[in-house]
Amino acid sequence: MMDAADSLDDLMARCALRDQRAFAELYRRSSGRLLAVAMRIVRRRDWAEDVLQESFVNIWNHVTDYSRAKSAPMTWMTAIVRNRALDWARRPKHETADEDLDGLIENWEDDTPGPAQRLQAAGEAGHLDDCLRELSGQQRQSIALAYMHGLSHSELADHLGEPLGTIKTWIRRGLEKLRGCLEARGAA
């Protein structure tokens, strides 16, 4: 059975041969994570989507430059998206003057939390941290990898070397325990 990296390697090789179906599958499997990378840098979904589109054009045009010996497929594609997003974020403000009025207002408004909101969020984060410590190691690790690193259940199963059903059980039971703990502390 191929793991996720091997199948991405295969897709990259097929893309180098100009296989458009392989490229569509490569996009399907990786675009969510790559969009998240762009979002973290440019902070606007519409810009991140533009970055992602430009990045995939670049990936298609330069897939023959990809070398498995130098990096994994996701590492290579992430570097392309990251560099494109950084270029986008560094653009002079006059280059983004074609934004619509809603976008300007959205950027103008100060939606940063005030001191009271930050204090409340810090308290809730402390409750969450305390409740996470009450979980088993497997539950805590599975939830962290799923929700903080974006791994799917099947990716978790491959990564941890456990059956898919076990992973789902750890996550479900861990989330139930977290919910109960947070409700008991009044943080939910």
88 in the same domain as 9:
yes
User: What confidence score (pLDDT) does residue 1 get?
Assistant: 42
**Which among 25, 60, 92 is the end of a domain?**
92
Does a structural domain hold residue 102?
Answer: no
Asked whether residue 162 is domain-assigned, the answer is yes
CATH number for position 53: 1.10.1740.10
Co-location of 74 and 144 in the same domain: no
Q: Is residue 68 part of a domain?
A: yes
Mind giving me the DSSP string for 118-151? HHHHHHHHHHHHHHHHTS-HHHHHHHHHHHTS--
The predicted structure's pLDDT at residue 94: 45
Q: Are residues 78 and 130 located together in one domain of the fold?
A: no
pLDDT of residue 78: 94
In the chain, the number of structural domains is 2
Position 158 pLDDT exceeds 90: no
pLDDT at 50: 93
Question: In terms of pTM, does the model score above 0.85?
Answer: no
Residue 97 per-residue DSSP state = T
Does residue 56 sit in helix, strand or coil? helix
Do 177 and 125 share a domain, yes or no?
A: yes
Distant-in-sequence, close-in-space partners of 32: CB < 8 Å, separation ≥ 6: 150
Residue 59 lies in a domain: yes
Longest Cα separation, the chain: 57
**Domain containing residue 87:** 4-92
Please tell me whether residues 85 and 121 are part of one structural domain: no
Tell me, yes or no, whether 13 and 86 share the same domain: yes
- Comparing 24-33, 108-117, 174-183, the range with the smallest average pLDDT is 108-117
For residue 62, the model assigns a pLDDT of 93
Q: Is residue 19 part of a domain?
A: yes
* 91 pLDDT higher than 70: yes
